[in-house]
Amino acid sequence: MIKKEDRNKVRKRKHLRVRKNLKGVEARPRLSVFRSLNHIYAQVINDVTGETLVAASSLDADIKDQNASGGNIEGAKQVGTLIAKKALEKGIDKVVFDRGGYIYHGRVAALASAAREAGLQF
């Protein structure tokens, strides 16, 4: 069985391998996803300036009011919808998706599909 620390090292190695070829620019910033056991976080980042343009997580008041957990698919869908809504308000409609070294499955896929349905293009 793989230890938790080793699994995270593997994820970080995968993330660095993906990030070599993935860059968010002003016209098409990067939508980065991070998940923990209990929460999920998403950021829209301009890598040229190193600036976070928009951020949303399962800890936001909008999502906490709905009693959604970030540790399940429903919470991830709500975070995806919220990040897309915030990005569209700032005039960002096209992004590059960065799955953060995680497998595109479960909460990560749910967040991505909810962001697409809410109007983001990747």
| The length of the chain, given as a count of residues | 122
CATH number of 4-117: 3.30.420.100
| Residue 4 pLDDT level (bands cut at 50, 70, 90) | low
Compute the mean pLDDT over every residue in the chain, rounded to the nearest whole number: 91
Pair type for strands 51-57 and 40-46 = antiparallel
Place of tokens 């983001």: 120
- What pLDDT, in 10s, does the model give residues 21-61? 888 888 899 999 999 999 999 999 999 999 999 999 999 98
Task: Give the domain ranges of the chain.
Answer: 4-117
What is the mean predicted confidence (pLDDT) over 75-87? 96
Cα-Cα end-to-end distance for the chain: 35
Q: How many helices (H) and strands (E) does the chain have?
A: 4, 4
Which residues in 85-101 are b (16+ Cβ under 10 Å) and which e? bbbeeeebeebbbbbbb
Residue 68, classed as helix, strand or coil, is coil
Q: What is the pTM of this model?
A: 0.89
**How far apart are the C-alpha atoms of 56 and 75, rounded to whole Å?**
12
pLDDT exceeds cutoff 70 at 6: yes
The CA-based angle 75-71-2, given to 5 degrees, is 145
pLDDT exceeds cutoff 70 at 10: yes
